[in-house]
Structure 1
Amino acid sequence: MGDDIRSGEAAATRLVRGTPLTEALDITDPGAWTALDAGVRAIARYRSSLLPGGYGAGTPGDGTAGGAPQSAAAPGRPTAGLGRLRLGLRPPARPRSADRGAGSRRRAGAPGAPAPEPVAGAGRPGPPDESAGLPVRSRLALALCHPDGRVREAALDGVAEHPVLLPLLVVRAGDWAAPVRERARRLLGGMLDVETAVALAPLILRVGRRERGAFGVELLDGVLRRAPRERLLPLHTHTDRAVRRFAFRSAVEEGLLSPGELARRASWDDDPVIQTLCADAAVAAVTDEGGDSGWDDVLEPLLGARSPRARSAGVTALRRAGRPGRAVEFLADRAAVVRACARYVVRRHGTDPLPWYRERCADPADPAVPPGAVIGLAECGERADAELLWPLLAHPAPTVRARAVAGLRALDVTDVARLLPLLEDPAPGVVREASTALLPSAGTLPDDWLTGFLTADRPRHARVAAFRLLDARGGLVGLRAAVALLDDRDERLRAWAGQSVQRWRPGADTPRGEAEVGELLDRARHLFSDYVLRRRKWEAGLRG
């Protein structure tokens, strides 16, 4: 949020310096418009004369910045009229009751001549308007973001002559000031056609997340539902994820896409929400009258999708399609959710998947052992099945070894002596799984042997695994390991070690007054203030 305001302030500053609107900000970026809206109000706090109308940020409770004006055309406030005069815009229609009230007050002055109404601050010149001479678009954009609601309202009608400012009309349709909001909504409803709605969809959905932004989303939905199907296709491949989600939800509700099209969308879109939405809709849309061809159009894209969400939907649909036998080939899928769905379908067909898993893992010398079958055995097996997993720790395939370690951990079977040598495995995945399995036993591991993995000649994954275990042990051993990595060549590992030193506290196994603790803390003194360093030493029984 802070970055948005800062970028908005920079864009507003460029506008008041005379930079054309299209050069001052990226008009195709919805975030640039919302940032400009916040940035104009930010600069008004310290340079009010930069804005059209000469109106500052005001004070709380006076109907200016930060609060909704009581009336966007309230009489007796010189700023509103000044802002409209300098903008050259038609003021909003004033209710007749307000005109009569203002007239009666004028007649209360000297007989026969209208007298000006006394106002606070009358007679004192306001700040000079430094925005005079700016391009009309720039002045209008600044006015549409002005802290004073009356200036914002006065600027709304100018959008019709400058459609490039339509994004700010969208922002104002969610304005906190009711007169501005209602007028902006009337104008937006008359100007939003299909082409404009497609272009403004990212901004409308962005503003729609605000407290008063629902109107724009409802208006967008109504316009797009009346549009021809071909006009909406660009939204299905839009780079903005929120736009794609909105477009697909609308397409599913309206039935604009066939089951096969939905399945294909689910198979290649990278958004998990869209994958689930389209996959579920595709399966639900297949009717029994469609026959095998209808299922083929849906199942083939889903079962071949890269996304586990899409594949799992396809595997689950095999039962309804009457093809449960095909689920067997997904019992060893690389994704856990797909394996679980495959086991569900197979079991509902009356087959126990456990013997299938045991058969696939029975020969540790078989180079074709599926890694998914190894972890699948642990997911549905018993602790006795660990005897099939231990030999797989020596399998030539790194993925099989890693899944075997993960499977043993899932079965809650841990043998430190057999797992410890895996920390020297050349495969990072195996070392990572081994360190995770050994973590509960970190206090019993040989610290001198693990410390040897922290040297610069060891690969990164070995240093990370060793430090993970030593850091979990804590005490003097953990501090020694962390300080040893403060000069590591890997930036992330150095940062992790520094954080470990900063949160270190002497444990029950740390000898009081241990001189090595003081030496290690002195080596890391750049991580502490003088006070905190003395405090740490005092906690360890050392004199600062």
Structure 2
Amino acid sequence: MTSEYTGRETAGEPAAHQLAQGTPVGSALDTDDPTAWISLDIEVRELSRPRLYPVHPRPAPPRRRWLSRVLPPLRAEPEAASSRPSPDAGLAVVRALPPATYDTEPALALALCDADGHVREAALARIPTGSALLPLVVIRCADWASPVRDRARELLRAELPARTPEELAALAPLLLRIDRRERGTFAAGLLETALRTPPYDHLKAQLGSADRDTRRFAHRIAAAGQVLDPAEFARSAARDPDVVVQSCCAEAALAGVRPDAYDEVLGPLLAARNPQVRAAGVTALRKAERPVEAEPFLADRSPVVRACARYVVRQYDIDPLPVYRAWCAEQGPAALPIGAPIGLAECGDRQDAGLLWPLTEHPDPAIRSRAVAGLRTLDVFDTGRLIPLLDDPSPAVTRETVTSLIPSARRIPVDHLVDRLTPDRPRHHRLASIRLLAAQGGTRQLRILRALLEDEDAKVRERAGRTR
């Protein structure tokens, strides 16, 4: 059994064993977990599989005996290594099977997962209307045996429309999981039909599903049909934790927004944490003819948002470069947006390095790190001025400095780096020295890295081994 189908089991005992002892299905497995149903199907299939070609004749294994206590012997066990039970004989037994054989839900669940297709088909004929075993019917819709598959699909087609929106939302994760199988598209097709049917109660019940795939599936359908109001799409884009849902909702919100309703849509988008959603909101400012509101996003933390903001202001003949220069020329700590130094480098030239060097001493480490990154973007390198930044108390500044110094690592004295490898140094200083020693190469540097393989700090040992 692969790890993909490992379901949760109660009381530390496999769900199939509990069902064989008469435990109710709801107590034997987590019925809200699609993986638990798939795991049960595989588990029972393995336990009920007959040994048709044993190497040496022997009695039925113990794993089969517990199942025989619940279900009658629907197949003849082989008497010799060369014998094989007749499918016709097994089918005759199933047809003569009294209805009382499946009078309990646990026994019916086991029969629906049995290795014998005749048993599975007979069990499908005995499922009552509204049964809690509908998840196993969904699995049987992708069964390899066409009689079982056809009967299961007929049953699911009749049962699914009668389910409430909440019941269908609970079943949807399994329907989508089975959709990945070779014959599993039927069940997901029924789900899609139900979700696309007005008044969309089933669809709205799944937009807040805890299952990620279900939310994605439901939001794609909602976006395609513009089922929600643009403001609702915008709020979903801002609060949903999944980036696929965020992007889908942001596009749907902007596609359906009216000119007089931009405030309700742009507010959530521009305040979203996801940079892709913010970028969509910033880009929409061009269509809304509000370029001034895009100017603060010129200094956004995300490069894609900054690029969209520059695009918007340039469409209205506003040059972003003077804005960046004015920001970086301000000396007050609170007057400088965090993304201004790197934004200046993205659209400036090497002469703007004069504004960035002073910012490497700014009190805010986020400003210092972006100033170093901006100097690198402008292709401005001064090893003598960068080396002191290796001792910066901020790991972010040190990382950016190392990245800038690696092309000229051989200019840094080895002893200077060795002094920063002592155990009393902060970890990010030690890691920076290891990266630069590895960039230098050489026999002495190799010996130093080899000695660090016995360091007390596990992170230092791992970095030294990897770079060496």
TM range (shorter): 0.7 to 0.9
Q: 1:266 aligns with which of 215, 226, 237?
A: 237
> Do the aligned partners of 1:175 and 1:181 also contact (CA within 8 Å) in 2?
yes
1:35-434 matched pairs, under 5 angstroms: 35-44=39-48, 47-51=63-67, 52=71, 53=73, 76-82=87-93, 88=98, 136-160=104-128, 163-193=131-161, 194-195=163-164, 196-226=167-197, 228-288=199-259, 291=260, 294-363=261-330, 366-434=333-401
Pick aligned residue for 1:468 from 432, 435, 444: 435
Q: Deviations over 1:372-420 (max 9, x none)?
A: 1111111122233222212211111111000011112222222222222
Report the CA distance between 1:259 and its aligned residue: 1.2
Aligned AA (2:36): A
1:226/1:363 CA distance change after superposition, 3 Å: closer
Q: 1:37/1:57 Cα in 2 relative to 1: closer, same or farther (>3 Å)?
A: farther
Cα distance in 2 between the residues matched to 1:76 and 1:32: 30
Shift of 1:489: 3.6
Shift of 1:283: 1.1
Cα deviation for residue 215 of structure 1 reads 1.2
Q: 1:77 to 1:469 in 2, by over 3 A?
A: farther
Q: Distance in 1 between matches of 2:327 and 2:300?
A: 13
SS for the counterpart of 1:412 is coil
Q: Secondary structure at the match of 1:164?
A: coil
Q: Give the direction of change, closer, same or farther, for the CA distance of 1:214–1:416 in structure 2 (3 Å limit).
A: same
Checking the alignment, whether the CA contact within 8 Å between 1:454 and 1:485 is kept in structure 2 is no
Structure 1 Cα separation of the partners of residues 460 and 115 of structure 2: 47
Distance 1:389 1:171, change over 3 A: same
Question: Bigger CA drift: 259-268 or 43-52?
Answer: 43-52
Q: Equivalent pairs: percent with the same residue?
A: 49
Q: Is the 8 A contact 1:419 1:434 kept in 2?
A: yes
Q: Measure how far apart 1:475 and its partner are.
A: 5.5
For the 8 Å contact 1:44–1:56, the answer to whether it is kept is no
1:440-465 C-alpha deviation (Å, 9 max, x unpaired): 33444333332333333222322332
Amino acid at match of 1:287: R
In structure 2, relative to structure 1, the CA distance for the partners of 1:20 and 1:366 (3 Å cut) is closer
Question: Are the aligned partners of 1:153 and 1:183 in contact in 2 as well (CA < 8 Å)?
Answer: yes
Q: What is the aligned residue count?
A: 439
* 1:413 partner SS: coil
What is residue 31 of structure 1 aligned with on the other side? 35
| Aligned CA distance change for structure 1 residues 434 and 13 (closer, same or farther; 3 Å) | farther
Q: Comparing 226-235 with 387-396, which one deviates more in the overlay?
A: 226-235
Tell me the equivalent position of 1:452. 419
- What one-letter code is carried by the residue in structure 2 that aligns with 1:375? I
Higher Cα Rg, which structure:
1
Shift of 1:83: 5.9
In the TM superposition, what whole-angstrom CA distance separates every residue of 1:297-316 from its partner, at most 9, and x where no partner exists? 11122122222122111111
Q: Give the superposition deviation at 1:243.
A: 1.3
Q: 1:332 to 1:175 in 2, by over 3 A?
A: same
Q: Contact between 1:357 and 1:377, CA under 8 Å: does it hold in 2?
A: yes
CA contact (8 A) 1:6 1:39 kept: no
Contact 2:434/2:463 (<8 A) preserved: no
Distance 1:180 1:230, change over 3 A: closer
**Amino acid corresponding to residue 402 of structure 2 in structure 1:** S
Alpha-carbon distance in structure 1 between the residues aligned to 2:228 and 2:18: 45
Change (3 A) 1:205 1:6: closer
Moved more, 443-452 or 339-348: 443-452
Q: Distance in 2 between matches of 1:187 and 1:354?
A: 66
Evaluate the alpha carbon distance shift between residue 210 and residue 438 of structure 1 in structure 2; reply closer, same or farther with a 3 A threshold: farther
Per-residue CA deviation, residues 10-54 of structure 1 (Å, 9 max, x unaligned), is 333443455442232211111111222233334456744554557
Inter-CA distance 498–136: structure 2 relative to 1 (3 Å threshold): farther
8 A Cα contact 1:467 1:482, kept in partner: no
**Corresponding position of 1:2:** 2
For structure 2, list consecutive stretches of 5 or more residues without a partner in the other structure. Answer: 50-60, 79-83
Kept in 2, the 8 Å contact 1:262–1:279? The answer is yes
Corresponding position of 1:488: 456
Q: Give a deviation string over 1:270-296, Cα, whole Å, max 9, x none.
A: 2111111111111111234xx3xx111
Q: Is the 8 A contact 2:179 2:187 kept in 1?
A: yes
Q: Provide Cα deviations, 1:472-498, integer angstroms capped at 9, x if missing partner.
A: 4455424532542544344x5544445
Report the secondary structure of 2:132's partner residue: helix
What is the TM-score of this pair, normalised by structure 2?
0.84
Compute the RMSD of aligned alpha carbons: 3.1
For 1:22, the equivalent position in structure 2 comes to 26
Q: Distance in 2 between matches of 1:248 and 1:170?
A: 22
